[in-house]
Structure 1
Amino acid sequence: MIILACFMVEVFVFGGSMIGGFLLAILSMPFVIANLNNLDAVLQVFNHLYVQLGIFAFIALALFAWVKWYEKRPISSLGFFKTNVLLEILKGWGVGMLVFSFAFGSSYLFGGLDFNRVDFSGENLLFVLSTIPFWFIQGGTEELLTRAWLLPIVNKRSNLAIAIGISSSLFGIMHLANNHVTALSILSIVLSGVFMALYMLKTDNIWGVAGLHGAWNFTQGNIFGVAVSGTSTGSSLFSFAIKPEAADWISGGAFETEGSLMASIALLLGIAYLGFQLKKEKELHAH
């Protein structure tokens, strides 16, 4: 059953992506026909950040359909509780920005990065701000799949530690095909899965961890201008470059900051803090 649940996560990703891609192809048909002589323009549209992140909405819809019509339970059972929604999102967003900024700042201070430029022009600022809801959709969808849906299923059939380990490991496996992937980058992604699982257990809702995940990606891609899990994300407020002479464990190499030891250390500190908080809560409830 656990293996089947892990397989279903991949089905949701593939099925939702196919549906989203099909609808996009239909809606963009007039544009494609008008630009048959300019395929670069067509590819640019399909590879745009908005499109790549927006596709995740269809993956979420595939999961919602499964939960509602096959599992016959309310979608709210995935953690969509209505109390303090905006506050939970903002808190999670702040945590995500803080933890990644710590990792990035450590990499910079240890000589892994060079500062290039800053761009606070109106056009660039507007683009960066406009990516926020798309990062929230993308990060939130990945949290729905691995933390809100898969983790409880595995937990029911084993225990919480195994559930966190399996859901986080699957999260790492799902990134194996990313550009410039390394053992250290996969370790960092698995640790981010553990960190986000603990954050969701601490807050007991999906909103906060969706904000955390979205902010983690937004901060690295469109604030500091480094690759998100090995993939470039377009314009950013700041621009940094990996120092060629820097060790990969400091800079993250071609995978960039998320593939550095600094990211793993930042996440381990976050895991330790949340683990301590959850242990304290458990002890209080026991008394």
Structure 2
Amino acid sequence: MSGPTESERPVQLRDNPMVAMADEAERPTRWWLAWLVALLFVLVGLVLGDWIGALVLGHPAKDQPRAQFLELFMFGTIALLLYLWIRVKERRGFSTFGFRGSKPVGRLLLGLLLGAALMTVGVLVPVALGDLATGRSEHHLSGTGALLMLVPLLVVFVLQSSTEEMVFRGYMLPMGLRQLPGWVAVLGTSVIFAAIHPGAKVVGTLNILLYAVFACLVVLQQGSLWLICGFHAGWNFFQGNVYGVPVSGNPEPTSLFTFGPTSGSRDLLSGGDFGIEASLVGTVLLVLAVAVAWVALRRTRGGAAAPAEAAPADAGAGT
């Protein structure tokens, strides 16, 4: 009887490059403390960054275009706090979050295109079914008046999305994988990610959970964050600033197009006030994305070759 084929062998997540980078810590943190610290920094960063940003930007109203730039300060503060933690406490570098590997710009751009393409399908399907139409959402800037703002707003979403990926898939996930069964680390971080997106209801929460699982699989298959940072940014940017659909329930004040639910539309298809992430169209797309990512990970049996040797097996100890 022949042995298992390459695709049938178990996925070895403990040997993944993302875990190897976390193993570079001279003073590693226990998984539960790492998760608590990361969530604390998210909370503090959002509050402190919003306060700093409001002072710098002149306390813009939520419907003012410059209000979206508050996210630079909020997510920038989160990223800074988490970096200081791993630098001072764990004694490892910024790149160990997963910002390593070949062709970083190419991977980031590829992810951006893939995220934009998937969101485009997510919008066009309910448009074809009559549940979304242009001219159905209001924005302070739209059409040609929004063009000059699109590039800087893309930068905002790259920072916002990359910070979320850094926290959940660049820090919490590998710290969990060092000390927990792989499925617990993936599912645990994904549930927490979904839980911090309030107002999503059942379908929206399910879809955010599916996205988080997909993101974990992509990061583990790639052995870096570059591709998923681009994907996340492309998904959010095209949803909010290109098509005008709310991003996780948050309408953006600037958008190229003005898509929104039609009169009598079905929320399960349009996503309602939450956006495509709360639609069954989004569910189908994300289920397919998870399936593709899982197959890709299985083919690499745990991810790309590690960029550095893992620390000794007892590196799981720490405070």
TM range (shorter): 0.7 to 0.9
Divergent runs of 4+, >6 A: 42-47
- Check whether the contact 2:236–2:247 (CA below 8 A) recurs between aligned residues: yes
Q: How does the TM-score come out when normalised to structure 1?
A: 0.86
Q: Shift in Å at residue 225 of structure 1? A: 0.4
SS at match of 1:60: helix
Deviation of 1:175 (Å): 0.5
Candidates 222, 227, 231, aligned match of 1:203: 222
Matched ranges for 1:165-244 at <5 A: 165-176=187-198, 178=199, 181-244=200-263
SS of residue in 2 equivalent to 1:55: helix
1:74 equivalent in structure 2:
93
Aligned twin of 1:55:
74
- TM-score, normalised via structure 2 length: 0.78
* Deviations 1:139-186 (CA, angstroms, capped at 9, x unpaired): 00000110010001111222222211111111100112x4xx311111
2: CA distance, partners of 1:283 / 1:207 = 17
Kindly provide the amino acid, as one letter, of the partner of residue 193 in structure 2: F
Amino acid at match of 2:148: L
- What corresponds to 1:12 in structure 2? 41
Pick which of 112-121 and 198-207 moved more: 112-121
How far, CA to CA, are the matches of 2:238 and 2:62 in structure 1? 26
> How many angstroms does 1:22 deviate by?
4.3
Question: After superposition, what is the alpha-carbon deviation per residue over 1:4-60, rounded to whole angstroms, capped at 9, x for unaligned?
Answer: 3332222111222343244335546xx57xxxxxxxx66767970011344201100
Inter-partner Cα distance in structure 2 for 1:27 and 1:116: 33
User: Once the 2 structures are TM-superposed, how far is the Cα of residue 283 of structure 1 from its aligned partner?
Assistant: 9.5
Residue-pair matches, total: 271
Pick the structure with more helix per residue.
1
Q: Which residue identity does 1:10 align to in structure 2? A: L
The higher relative CO (CA closer than 8 Å, separation ≥ 6) is in 2
Question: Using a 3 Å threshold, how does the CA distance of structure 1 residues 104 and 284 change in structure 2: closer, same or farther?
Answer: closer
**1:238/1:44 Cα in 2 relative to 1: closer, same or farther (>3 Å)?**
closer
**Which letter does structure 1 place at the counterpart of 2:158?**
F
* % identical equivalent positions: 28
Describe the shift of the 1:274–1:42 C-alpha distance in structure 2 as closer, same or farther (beyond 3 A).
closer
Q: After TM superposition, give the deviation of residue 80 of structure 1 in Å.
A: 1.3
> Given residue 240 of structure 1, which amino acid in structure 2 is its aligned partner?
F
SS of 1:114 mapped into structure 2: strand
1:71, distance to aligned residue in structure 2 (A): 1.1
Identify unmatched segments of 5+ residues in structure 2: 1-29, 305-319
**What SS is found at the alignment partner of 2:301?**
helix
Q: Is 1:141 matched with 2:170? A: no
1: CA distance between counterparts of 2:249 and 2:259? 15
Question: Helix, strand or coil: the match of 2:259?
Answer: strand
